[in-house]
Structure 1
Amino acid sequence: MNASAALRQYQTVNRNAQVLEASPHRLIQMLMEGGLERIAQARGALERGQVALKGELIGKAVAIIGGLREALNPEVGGEYAANLDSLYEYMMRRLTEANRHSDVERLDEVSGLLRKVKEGWDGIAGA
């Protein structure tokens, strides 16, 4: 096994261990971090002209944001959950448009929105 494959395997095992030990709050943080990471990677792929990779990474970001939408509980979150649902749906649409039009500005827009939501979520960690 080469060093690169060993590192990837270690990272996968480490990530799986983190998920198993994480609180529900931390799991949402991890989803948001993963979404931001995939968007940044997609931006890099777009800048390098790697069209297929860009599409794959944006697809992963859309799936992550879809997971965030599914985690919303309108019975507990009420209006906040409804507003977040609308925002997540908007982000997914903008990412799809960014993919279709190879648009860095739309990627940056969604990254900024998700970063703001994450900042708020991080702020309630101790509450």
Structure 2
Amino acid sequence: MAINNPYAAYQQNSITTASPGELTLMLYNGCIKFINQASQAIDASNIQEKNTNIQKAQKIITELMITLNKDYEVAKKFEVMYEYMNHRLIEANIKNDKEILQEVENYVVEFRDTWKQVIQINRQQQYGQGGQA
């Protein structure tokens, strides 16, 4: 079945053509989006939407954990942080606590921003120092 919605077609194409690094960046951005939606749902007293969005954020963090390359020592440290963030999301869900959501969001933003820098450095090394994309 063809996708009739041009935006949906664009999104699907961007996912299927993205590099592994870009996919990781998309996961971080998705996690931030779902945390924000959960926080808005708490404000609106919409417990079901809050729960759904926190669970989506948890699934993304779990995916990030699964895809870690454990051959590197830094991956073990990432794993500990991902476990911590998952635990805090569970706590935020139980307590309807926006402060905990903000704490986790801050970590995810920091990870995302660092990952952006890694992608930029890799591109510079791959394509040479002269041209920035």
Q: Same fold by TM (over 0.5)?
A: yes
Secondary structure at the residue paired with 1:124? helix
Q: Which runs of 5+ in 1 are unaligned?
A: 1-5
Report the alpha carbon displacement of residue 114 of structure 1 after superposing the two structures with TM: 0.6
* Greater share of helix: 1
In structure 2, how many angstroms separate the alpha carbons of the residues matched to 1:16 and 1:95?
28
Secondary structure at the residue paired with 2:62? helix
Residues 40-59 of structure 1 aligned to structure 2 (within 5 Å): 40-59=36-55
In structure 1, how many angstroms separate the alpha carbons of the residues matched to 2:60 and 2:7?
19
| Match 2:70 to one of 70, 74, 82 | 74
Match of 1:14 in 2: 10
Match of 1:3 in 2: none
Secondary structure at the residue paired with 1:125? helix
RMSD (Å) for aligned C-alpha atoms: 1.2
Report the alpha carbon displacement of residue 79 of structure 1 after superposing the two structures with TM: 1.6
In structure 2, how many angstroms separate the alpha carbons of the residues matched to 1:12 and 1:92?
29
Residues 1-127 of structure 1 aligned to structure 2 (within 5 Å): 9-75=5-71, 78-127=72-121
In structure 2, how many angstroms separate the alpha carbons of the residues matched to 1:62 and 1:102?
15
Number of aligned residues: 118
Q: Which runs of 5+ in 2 are unaligned?
A: 122-133
TM-score between the two structures when normalised by the length of structure 2: 0.85
Secondary structure at the residue paired with 1:72? coil
Task: Spell out structure 1 runs of 4+ moving beyond 2 A.
Answer: 9-14
